[in-house]
Structure 1
Protein backbone atom coordinates (compact mmCIF):
# COMPACT_ATOMS: atom_id res chain seq x y z
CA UNK A 1 0.00 0.00 0.00
CA UNK A 2 1.32 3.43 -0.91
CA UNK A 3 2.10 5.99 1.79
CA UNK A 4 1.28 9.67 1.36
CA UNK A 5 4.52 11.58 1.95
CA UNK A 6 4.95 13.86 4.92
CA UNK A 7 4.22 17.47 4.02
CA UNK A 8 1.65 16.51 1.41
CA UNK A 9 -1.73 18.15 1.81
CA UNK A 10 -5.17 17.04 0.71
CA UNK A 11 -5.44 19.17 -2.40
CA UNK A 12 -8.47 17.47 -3.94
CA UNK A 13 -11.60 15.94 -2.43
CA UNK A 14 -14.65 15.93 -4.70
CA UNK A 15 -17.54 13.61 -5.48
CA UNK A 16 -18.43 13.20 -9.15
CA UNK A 17 -21.97 12.15 -9.95
CA UNK A 18 -22.67 9.55 -12.67
CA UNK A 19 -22.70 11.21 -16.07
CA UNK A 20 -20.67 14.15 -14.82
CA UNK A 21 -16.93 14.71 -15.17
CA UNK A 22 -13.81 16.30 -13.76
CA UNK A 23 -10.89 18.17 -15.26
CA UNK A 24 -7.85 18.88 -13.12
CA UNK A 25 -4.08 18.99 -12.89
CA UNK A 26 -1.72 16.88 -10.79
CA UNK A 27 1.83 18.11 -10.21
CA UNK A 28 4.75 15.72 -10.65
CA UNK A 29 4.99 13.52 -7.56
CA UNK A 30 1.37 14.09 -6.57
CA UNK A 31 -0.86 11.14 -5.65
CA UNK A 32 -4.36 10.84 -7.09
CA UNK A 33 -7.02 8.36 -5.93
CA UNK A 34 -10.33 7.32 -7.49
CA UNK A 35 -12.74 5.68 -5.04
CA UNK A 36 -15.58 3.44 -6.23
CA UNK A 37 -18.05 4.53 -3.56
CA UNK A 38 -20.83 2.00 -4.23
CA UNK A 39 -19.09 -0.66 -6.34
CA UNK A 40 -19.14 -1.63 -10.03
CA UNK A 41 -18.84 1.93 -11.32
CA UNK A 42 -16.64 2.66 -14.36
CA UNK A 43 -14.46 5.77 -14.24
CA UNK A 44 -13.29 6.59 -17.78
CA UNK A 45 -10.01 8.49 -17.52
CA UNK A 46 -7.63 10.30 -19.87
CA UNK A 47 -4.11 11.48 -18.97
CA UNK A 48 -2.19 14.26 -20.76
CA UNK A 49 1.26 15.76 -20.29
CA UNK A 50 0.42 19.20 -18.88
CA UNK A 51 3.34 20.81 -20.73
CA UNK A 52 2.27 19.37 -24.09
CA UNK A 53 -1.31 18.11 -24.39
CA UNK A 54 -0.39 16.31 -27.62
CA UNK A 55 1.61 13.89 -25.47
CA UNK A 56 -1.21 11.73 -24.12
CA UNK A 57 -1.92 8.30 -22.68
CA UNK A 58 -1.47 5.37 -25.07
CA UNK A 59 -3.05 2.00 -24.36
CA UNK A 60 -0.88 0.34 -27.01
CA UNK A 61 2.42 1.54 -25.56
CA UNK A 62 1.30 0.79 -22.00
CA UNK A 63 0.20 -2.76 -22.86
CA UNK A 64 3.32 -3.48 -24.92
CA UNK A 65 5.77 -2.31 -22.26
CA UNK A 66 4.12 -4.11 -19.34
CA UNK A 67 3.17 -7.25 -21.29
CA UNK A 68 -0.39 -7.35 -19.95
CA UNK A 69 -3.75 -6.12 -21.23
CA UNK A 70 -4.95 -5.31 -17.70
CA UNK A 71 -3.78 -2.50 -15.44
CA UNK A 72 -3.05 -2.99 -11.76
CA UNK A 73 -0.56 -2.20 -9.00
CA UNK A 74 2.78 -1.21 -10.51
CA UNK A 75 1.49 -0.55 -14.02
CA UNK A 76 3.23 2.37 -15.71
CA UNK A 77 0.83 4.48 -17.76
CA UNK A 78 2.74 5.52 -20.87
CA UNK A 79 2.22 8.08 -23.58
CA UNK A 80 2.42 7.53 -27.34
CA UNK A 81 5.99 8.85 -27.06
CA UNK A 82 6.62 6.07 -24.52
CA UNK A 83 7.04 8.56 -21.67
CA UNK A 84 5.83 7.37 -18.26
CA UNK A 85 2.98 9.71 -17.36
CA UNK A 86 1.91 8.00 -14.13
CA UNK A 87 2.31 4.83 -12.09
CA UNK A 88 -0.39 2.88 -10.26
CA UNK A 89 0.88 2.89 -6.66
CA UNK A 90 -2.10 1.34 -4.87
CA UNK A 91 -5.01 -0.79 -6.06
CA UNK A 92 -7.61 -2.53 -3.91
CA UNK A 93 -9.70 -3.59 -6.92
CA UNK A 94 -7.23 -5.86 -8.68
CA UNK A 95 -7.40 -4.98 -12.36
CA UNK A 96 -8.68 -2.31 -14.72
CA UNK A 97 -9.54 -2.14 -18.42
CA UNK A 98 -7.81 -0.12 -21.12
CA UNK A 99 -9.21 -1.87 -24.20
CA UNK A 100 -12.97 -1.27 -24.07
CA UNK A 101 -12.84 2.44 -24.91
CA UNK A 102 -15.25 5.15 -23.83
CA UNK A 103 -18.94 4.94 -24.63
CA UNK A 104 -20.33 7.34 -27.24
CA UNK A 105 -23.82 7.92 -28.57
CA UNK A 106 -22.75 6.44 -31.91
CA UNK A 107 -21.26 3.28 -30.43
CA UNK A 108 -24.29 2.85 -28.17
CA UNK A 109 -26.52 2.74 -31.25
CA UNK A 110 -24.31 0.12 -32.91
CA UNK A 111 -24.15 -2.05 -29.81
CA UNK A 112 -27.57 -1.59 -28.24
CA UNK A 113 -29.99 -0.12 -30.78
CA UNK A 114 -31.50 3.17 -31.90
CA UNK A 115 -33.39 3.65 -28.63
CA UNK A 116 -30.03 4.58 -27.02
CA UNK A 117 -29.19 7.32 -29.56
CA UNK A 118 -29.83 10.24 -27.21
CA UNK A 119 -28.56 8.71 -24.00
CA UNK A 120 -25.69 10.67 -22.50
CA UNK A 121 -22.26 9.04 -22.98
CA UNK A 122 -18.67 9.51 -21.81
CA UNK A 123 -17.51 11.09 -25.05
CA UNK A 124 -19.91 14.01 -24.52
CA UNK A 125 -18.58 14.51 -20.98
CA UNK A 126 -14.97 14.43 -22.24
CA UNK A 127 -15.73 17.06 -24.88
CA UNK A 128 -17.60 19.33 -22.45
CA UNK A 129 -14.85 19.38 -19.83
CA UNK A 130 -11.92 19.09 -22.24
CA UNK A 131 -12.99 22.22 -24.10
CA UNK A 132 -11.86 24.24 -21.06
CA UNK A 133 -8.20 23.55 -21.97
CA UNK A 134 -8.55 23.15 -25.73
CA UNK A 135 -9.06 19.39 -25.88
CA UNK A 136 -11.33 18.44 -28.77
CA UNK A 137 -12.36 15.31 -30.69
CA UNK A 138 -8.85 14.75 -32.11
CA UNK A 139 -7.42 14.48 -28.58
CA UNK A 140 -9.93 11.86 -27.39
CA UNK A 141 -7.97 8.72 -28.08
CA UNK A 142 -7.15 5.87 -25.69
CA UNK A 143 -8.60 5.94 -22.20
CA UNK A 144 -8.53 3.83 -19.06
CA UNK A 145 -11.75 2.40 -17.65
CA UNK A 146 -10.90 2.17 -13.97
CA UNK A 147 -12.92 -0.55 -12.16
CA UNK A 148 -14.37 -1.86 -15.45
CA UNK A 149 -14.18 -5.59 -16.22
CA UNK A 150 -13.66 -6.37 -19.93
CA UNK A 151 -12.38 -9.95 -20.26
CA UNK A 152 -10.50 -10.94 -23.42
CA UNK A 153 -11.97 -14.07 -24.99
CA UNK A 154 -9.97 -17.01 -26.32
CA UNK A 155 -10.40 -15.76 -29.90
CA UNK A 156 -9.22 -12.26 -29.03
CA UNK A 157 -12.61 -10.58 -28.64
CA UNK A 158 -13.84 -8.40 -25.80
CA UNK A 159 -16.82 -8.92 -23.51
CA UNK A 160 -18.39 -6.54 -21.01
CA UNK A 161 -18.83 -8.40 -17.74
CA UNK A 162 -19.90 -7.75 -14.18
CA UNK A 163 -17.37 -5.64 -12.33
CA UNK A 164 -14.76 -7.02 -9.94
CA UNK A 165 -14.90 -3.94 -7.72
CA UNK A 166 -16.93 -3.32 -4.56
CA UNK A 167 -17.98 -0.37 -2.38
CA UNK A 168 -14.95 1.56 -1.15
CA UNK A 169 -12.43 -0.04 -3.52
CA UNK A 170 -9.95 2.41 -4.97
CA UNK A 171 -7.05 2.87 -7.36
CA UNK A 172 -4.26 5.36 -6.80
CA UNK A 173 -1.71 6.78 -9.23
CA UNK A 174 1.42 8.89 -8.82
CA UNK A 175 2.05 11.58 -11.43
CA UNK A 176 5.53 11.13 -12.90
CA UNK A 177 5.28 14.55 -14.56
CA UNK A 178 2.78 17.41 -14.41
CA UNK A 179 -0.49 15.97 -15.69
CA UNK A 180 -3.90 17.04 -16.90
CA UNK A 181 -6.51 14.45 -15.91
CA UNK A 182 -9.90 14.26 -17.62
CA UNK A 183 -12.54 11.94 -16.13
CA UNK A 184 -16.02 10.91 -17.17
CA UNK A 185 -17.97 9.07 -14.48
CA UNK A 186 -19.67 6.70 -16.87
CA UNK A 187 -23.49 6.91 -17.24
CA UNK A 188 -23.71 3.62 -19.18
CA UNK A 189 -27.00 1.79 -18.62
CA UNK A 190 -26.75 -0.86 -21.32
CA UNK A 191 -24.03 -3.22 -20.12
CA UNK A 192 -22.97 -4.48 -16.68
CA UNK A 193 -19.92 -2.20 -16.32
CA UNK A 194 -21.85 -0.09 -13.77
CA UNK A 195 -23.94 -2.93 -12.38
CA UNK A 196 -26.85 -1.45 -14.43
CA UNK A 197 -26.96 1.40 -11.89
CA UNK A 198 -24.45 4.29 -12.33
CA UNK A 199 -23.25 5.69 -9.00
CA UNK A 200 -20.90 8.47 -7.77
CA UNK A 201 -17.13 8.26 -7.42
CA UNK A 202 -14.84 10.21 -5.11
CA UNK A 203 -11.60 11.84 -6.24
CA UNK A 204 -8.83 12.49 -3.71
CA UNK A 205 -5.43 14.05 -4.28
CA UNK A 206 -2.35 14.76 -2.20
CA UNK A 207 0.72 16.77 -3.13
CA UNK A 208 3.38 18.91 -1.56
CA UNK A 209 2.47 22.30 -0.17
Structure 2
Protein backbone atom coordinates (compact mmCIF):
# COMPACT_ATOMS: atom_id res chain seq x y z
CA UNK A 1 0.00 0.00 0.00
CA UNK A 2 1.34 3.45 -0.89
CA UNK A 3 1.49 6.00 1.94
CA UNK A 4 0.73 9.50 0.77
CA UNK A 5 2.51 12.51 2.24
CA UNK A 6 0.26 14.66 4.44
CA UNK A 7 -1.52 17.39 2.53
CA UNK A 8 -0.53 21.01 3.13
CA UNK A 9 -3.08 22.40 0.68
CA UNK A 10 -4.98 24.22 3.43
CA UNK A 11 -3.83 26.34 6.33
CA UNK A 12 -5.20 23.81 8.81
CA UNK A 13 -3.44 20.90 7.10
CA UNK A 14 -0.19 22.87 6.91
CA UNK A 15 -0.42 23.68 10.61
CA UNK A 16 -1.07 20.06 11.53
CA UNK A 17 1.83 18.92 9.38
CA UNK A 18 4.16 21.49 10.94
CA UNK A 19 3.14 20.55 14.48
CA UNK A 20 3.72 16.89 13.69
CA UNK A 21 7.42 17.71 13.29
CA UNK A 22 7.69 18.73 16.96
CA UNK A 23 10.46 16.80 18.68
CA UNK A 24 12.16 15.79 15.44
CA UNK A 25 15.94 15.69 15.87
CA UNK A 26 18.43 15.83 13.01
CA UNK A 27 22.19 15.49 13.14
CA UNK A 28 23.02 19.16 12.57
CA UNK A 29 20.98 21.54 14.71
CA UNK A 30 21.14 23.43 18.03
CA UNK A 31 20.25 21.57 21.21
CA UNK A 32 17.31 23.46 22.73
CA UNK A 33 17.27 23.81 25.60
CA UNK A 34 21.04 23.44 25.92
CA UNK A 35 22.27 20.60 28.15
CA UNK A 36 22.55 21.42 31.85
CA UNK A 37 25.54 23.63 32.60
CA UNK A 38 25.89 24.64 28.96
CA UNK A 39 25.30 28.05 27.39
CA UNK A 40 25.06 26.73 23.83
CA UNK A 41 25.46 23.42 22.02
CA UNK A 42 25.10 22.92 18.28
CA UNK A 43 26.36 20.87 15.39
CA UNK A 44 26.88 23.01 12.29
CA UNK A 45 26.62 21.27 8.93
CA UNK A 46 29.33 21.65 6.34
CA UNK A 47 28.53 24.70 4.24
CA UNK A 48 26.58 26.38 7.02
CA UNK A 49 27.15 28.93 9.80
CA UNK A 50 26.28 29.83 13.35
CA UNK A 51 26.54 32.81 15.67
CA UNK A 52 26.45 33.13 19.45
CA UNK A 53 26.97 35.68 22.20
CA UNK A 54 28.79 34.64 25.37
CA UNK A 55 29.78 36.40 28.61
CA UNK A 56 33.36 37.02 29.67
CA UNK A 57 34.95 33.83 30.93
CA UNK A 58 32.85 31.50 28.80
CA UNK A 59 34.72 28.67 27.12
CA UNK A 60 33.84 27.91 23.50
CA UNK A 61 34.92 24.48 22.26
CA UNK A 62 34.98 23.74 18.54
CA UNK A 63 35.24 20.08 17.51
CA UNK A 64 35.95 18.74 14.03
CA UNK A 65 33.68 15.73 14.49
CA UNK A 66 34.37 13.90 11.22
CA UNK A 67 37.77 15.28 10.29
CA UNK A 68 36.93 17.66 7.44
CA UNK A 69 35.47 20.77 9.08
CA UNK A 70 36.96 24.24 8.73
CA UNK A 71 35.80 26.86 11.22
CA UNK A 72 36.28 30.41 9.93
CA UNK A 73 35.96 32.58 13.05
CA UNK A 74 35.24 36.24 13.72
CA UNK A 75 34.95 37.76 17.21
CA UNK A 76 33.43 41.09 18.25
CA UNK A 77 33.20 42.63 21.72
CA UNK A 78 29.50 42.56 22.51
CA UNK A 79 28.21 46.13 22.69
CA UNK A 80 31.44 47.45 21.12
CA UNK A 81 31.40 45.90 17.65
CA UNK A 82 34.08 48.31 16.46
CA UNK A 83 36.47 46.24 18.60
CA UNK A 84 36.88 43.01 16.71
CA UNK A 85 39.30 40.23 15.91
CA UNK A 86 42.42 41.45 14.14
CA UNK A 87 44.30 38.57 12.53
CA UNK A 88 47.29 40.73 11.58
CA UNK A 89 47.80 42.02 15.13
CA UNK A 90 47.26 38.52 16.52
CA UNK A 91 50.26 37.44 14.44
CA UNK A 92 52.62 40.41 14.75
CA UNK A 93 52.14 41.19 18.45
CA UNK A 94 52.94 37.58 19.37
CA UNK A 95 55.72 37.20 16.77
CA UNK A 96 54.07 34.00 15.58
CA UNK A 97 51.68 33.14 12.73
CA UNK A 98 50.95 29.65 14.05
CA UNK A 99 48.40 29.26 16.82
CA UNK A 100 48.63 26.73 19.64
CA UNK A 101 47.76 26.35 23.34
CA UNK A 102 48.32 29.66 25.10
CA UNK A 103 47.96 31.79 21.97
CA UNK A 104 45.87 34.96 22.21
CA UNK A 105 43.30 36.23 19.72
CA UNK A 106 43.72 40.01 19.76
CA UNK A 107 41.79 43.07 18.69
CA UNK A 108 43.38 46.11 17.08
CA UNK A 109 43.11 47.84 20.46
CA UNK A 110 45.86 45.61 21.83
CA UNK A 111 43.37 43.68 23.97
CA UNK A 112 42.72 39.97 24.36
CA UNK A 113 39.42 38.79 22.93
CA UNK A 114 40.03 35.10 23.62
CA UNK A 115 42.74 32.77 24.89
CA UNK A 116 43.34 29.45 23.17
CA UNK A 117 43.45 27.14 26.18
CA UNK A 118 43.24 23.74 24.43
CA UNK A 119 44.29 22.56 20.99
CA UNK A 120 44.43 18.95 19.82
CA UNK A 121 44.51 19.90 16.14
CA UNK A 122 47.51 22.12 15.41
CA UNK A 123 46.20 22.86 11.90
CA UNK A 124 45.06 26.47 11.82
CA UNK A 125 45.40 29.50 9.56
CA UNK A 126 45.87 33.16 10.45
CA UNK A 127 47.04 34.18 6.97
CA UNK A 128 44.67 33.20 4.15
CA UNK A 129 41.21 34.38 5.18
CA UNK A 130 37.99 32.74 4.09
CA UNK A 131 36.58 32.08 0.63
CA UNK A 132 34.67 34.56 -1.52
CA UNK A 133 31.65 34.10 -3.76
CA UNK A 134 33.72 34.89 -6.85
CA UNK A 135 36.41 32.34 -5.96
CA UNK A 136 33.95 29.57 -5.16
CA UNK A 137 31.94 30.27 -8.28
CA UNK A 138 35.08 30.04 -10.41
CA UNK A 139 36.25 26.89 -8.67
CA UNK A 140 33.05 24.97 -7.90
CA UNK A 141 30.42 26.65 -10.07
CA UNK A 142 28.53 28.39 -7.24
CA UNK A 143 29.61 30.50 -4.27
CA UNK A 144 26.24 31.77 -3.10
CA UNK A 145 25.20 31.38 0.53
CA UNK A 146 22.42 28.90 -0.22
CA UNK A 147 24.08 27.00 -3.05
CA UNK A 148 25.94 23.67 -3.00
CA UNK A 149 29.36 25.25 -2.34
CA UNK A 150 28.80 28.38 -0.22
CA UNK A 151 31.66 30.80 0.34
CA UNK A 152 32.70 31.67 3.86
CA UNK A 153 32.25 35.40 3.41
CA UNK A 154 28.70 34.94 2.13
CA UNK A 155 27.82 32.87 5.21
CA UNK A 156 29.50 35.36 7.57
CA UNK A 157 27.48 38.19 6.03
CA UNK A 158 24.30 36.34 7.00
CA UNK A 159 25.59 35.76 10.55
CA UNK A 160 26.67 39.38 10.85
CA UNK A 161 23.26 40.69 9.80
CA UNK A 162 21.72 38.94 12.82
CA UNK A 163 23.71 41.34 15.00
CA UNK A 164 23.18 44.53 13.02
CA UNK A 165 26.56 44.27 11.30
CA UNK A 166 27.17 44.87 7.61
CA UNK A 167 29.72 43.42 5.15
CA UNK A 168 32.05 46.35 5.78
CA UNK A 169 32.21 45.26 9.45
CA UNK A 170 33.79 41.90 8.55
CA UNK A 171 37.59 41.74 8.89
CA UNK A 172 39.78 38.80 7.83
CA UNK A 173 39.02 35.59 9.72
CA UNK A 174 41.16 33.10 11.59
CA UNK A 175 40.48 29.53 10.46
CA UNK A 176 40.65 26.40 12.58
CA UNK A 177 41.24 22.76 11.53
CA UNK A 178 42.77 23.49 8.10
CA UNK A 179 46.35 24.71 8.35
CA UNK A 180 48.83 26.53 6.13
CA UNK A 181 52.54 27.24 6.34
CA UNK A 182 54.32 30.21 4.80
CA UNK A 183 57.30 29.29 2.63
CA UNK A 184 60.48 31.30 2.12
CA UNK A 185 59.09 32.78 -1.10
CA UNK A 186 55.85 33.80 0.61
CA UNK A 187 53.75 30.99 -0.86
CA UNK A 188 51.19 29.43 1.46
CA UNK A 189 51.20 25.64 1.58
CA UNK A 190 48.21 23.73 3.01
CA UNK A 191 49.08 21.33 5.85
CA UNK A 192 45.80 19.41 5.89
CA UNK A 193 43.74 18.52 8.95
CA UNK A 194 44.24 16.66 12.22
CA UNK A 195 41.42 14.18 11.65
CA UNK A 196 38.14 13.30 13.39
CA UNK A 197 37.69 14.56 16.94
CA UNK A 198 40.24 17.38 16.85
CA UNK A 199 39.16 20.27 19.04
CA UNK A 200 40.10 23.73 20.25
CA UNK A 201 38.82 25.65 23.26
CA UNK A 202 38.73 29.44 23.41
CA UNK A 203 38.26 31.31 26.70
CA UNK A 204 36.41 34.62 26.24
CA UNK A 205 38.32 37.41 27.99
CA UNK A 206 35.54 39.92 27.26
CA UNK A 207 31.83 39.52 26.44
CA UNK A 208 31.97 38.26 22.86
CA UNK A 209 29.83 37.78 19.80
CA UNK A 210 31.21 34.95 17.68
CA UNK A 211 30.43 34.41 13.99
CA UNK A 212 31.47 31.02 12.59
CA UNK A 213 31.28 29.78 9.00
CA UNK A 214 31.97 26.07 8.48
CA UNK A 215 33.04 25.92 4.86
CA UNK A 216 35.83 24.56 2.68
CA UNK A 217 39.20 26.27 3.08
CA UNK A 218 40.10 28.44 0.06
CA UNK A 219 43.44 26.62 -0.39
CA UNK A 220 42.05 23.11 -0.12
CA UNK A 221 43.89 21.35 -2.96
CA UNK A 222 41.14 18.81 -3.65
CA UNK A 223 39.00 19.44 -6.73
CA UNK A 224 35.63 19.04 -4.99
CA UNK A 225 33.97 21.01 -2.21
CA UNK A 226 34.69 19.19 1.07
CA UNK A 227 33.35 20.18 4.49
CA UNK A 228 31.92 18.03 7.29
CA UNK A 229 30.07 19.00 10.50
CA UNK A 230 31.50 21.19 13.25
CA UNK A 231 30.39 20.88 16.89
CA UNK A 232 30.15 24.12 18.87
CA UNK A 233 29.75 24.10 22.66
CA UNK A 234 29.93 27.00 25.12
CA UNK A 235 30.03 26.67 28.90
CA UNK A 236 30.31 29.28 31.68
CA UNK A 237 33.71 30.07 33.11
CA UNK A 238 35.99 32.87 34.31
CA UNK A 239 38.45 35.07 32.42
CA UNK A 240 42.14 34.32 32.80
CA UNK A 241 42.98 35.18 36.42
CA UNK A 242 45.81 37.55 37.44
CA UNK A 243 47.91 34.69 38.80
CA UNK A 244 47.59 32.51 35.71
CA UNK A 245 50.98 31.78 34.07
CA UNK A 246 49.44 32.57 30.68
CA UNK A 247 49.35 36.25 31.63
CA UNK A 248 53.10 36.48 32.14
CA UNK A 249 54.20 33.94 29.53
CA UNK A 250 55.66 36.79 27.44
CA UNK A 251 55.91 40.58 27.81
CA UNK A 252 53.40 40.88 24.95
CA UNK A 253 50.92 38.63 26.76
CA UNK A 254 51.15 40.68 29.95
CA UNK A 255 50.59 43.98 28.12
CA UNK A 256 47.59 42.58 26.22
CA UNK A 257 45.95 41.25 29.38
CA UNK A 258 46.61 44.53 31.23
CA UNK A 259 45.04 46.46 28.35
CA UNK A 260 42.02 44.15 28.60
CA UNK A 261 41.75 44.61 32.36
CA UNK A 262 41.76 48.39 31.92
CA UNK A 263 39.00 48.23 29.29
CA UNK A 264 36.84 45.93 31.36
CA UNK A 265 36.96 48.38 34.27
CA UNK A 266 36.62 51.60 32.25
CA UNK A 267 33.22 53.38 32.50
CA UNK A 268 33.82 54.84 29.03
CA UNK A 269 34.34 51.41 27.46
CA UNK A 270 31.38 49.94 29.33
CA UNK A 271 28.96 52.37 27.70
User: TM-score range, shorter-chain basis?
Assistant: 0.7 to 0.9
TM-score (structure 2 length as normaliser): 0.67
> Partner residue of 2:240?
none
Partner in structure 2 of residue 103 of structure 1: 131
Cα separation, 1, equivalents of 2:164 and 2:177: 28
Q: Does 1:177 align with 2:206?
A: yes
The question of 1:126 aligning with 2:126 is answered no
Tell me what 2:62 maps to: 34
Aligned to 1:138: 168
Structure number with bigger Rg = 2
**Which has the larger share of helix?**
2
Distance 1:55 1:99 in 2: 20
Aligned-residue Cα RMSD (Å) equals 2.3
Q: Which moved more, 1:137-146 or 1:189-198?
A: 189-198
Mapping of residues 44-193 of structure 1, within 5 Å: 44-108=72-136, 112=139, 115-116=141-142, 119-159=149-189, 161-187=190-216, 191-192=220-221
Query: In the aligned structure 2, how far is the partner of 1:14 from the partner of 1:49?
Result: 22
- The separation in 2 between residues aligned to 1:45 and 1:172, in whole angstroms, is 13
For 2:124 and 2:175, the matched residues in 1 are separated by 6
C-alpha deviation, 1:187, in angstroms: 4.2
Cα separation, 2, equivalents of 1:27 and 1:59: 22
- Taking the aligned partners of 1:193 and 1:85, their CA distance within structure 2 comes to 33
- Say whether the 8 Å CA contact 1:47–1:56 is kept in structure 2: yes
| TM-score relative to the length of structure 1 | 0.86
Pick closer, same or farther for the CA change 1:152–1:190 going to 2, 3 Å. closer
> Are 2:43 and 1:15 equivalent residues in the alignment?
yes
Segment drifting more, 174-183 vs 17-26: 17-26
Q: Secondary structure at the match of 1:205?
A: strand
Measure how far apart 1:167 and its partner are: 0.5
1:38 is paired with a residue whose SS is coil
Gaps of 5+ in 2: 1-35, 238-271
Structure 1 181/122 Cα, relative in aligned 2: closer, same or farther at 3 Å? Answer: same
Determine if contact 1:40/1:194 at 8 Å carries over to the other structure: no
Which of 216, 227, 232 in structure 2 is aligned with 1:198? 227
Separation of aligned partners in 2, 1:47 and 1:163: 24
What displacement does 1:150 show? 1.3
Deviates more, 1:146-155 or 1:187-196: 187-196
> For the structure 1 residues 188 and 91, does the alpha-carbon distance in structure 2 shift closer, same or farther, using more than 3 Å as the test?
closer
Equivalent position of 2:5 in the other structure: none
Count of matched residue positions in the alignment of Structure 1 and Structure 2: 198
Q: 1:135, 1:69 → 2: CA distance?
A: 28
For residues 102 and 223 of structure 2, the distance between their equivalents in structure 1, rounded to whole angstroms, comes to: 25
How far 1:196 moved relative to its partner? 5.2
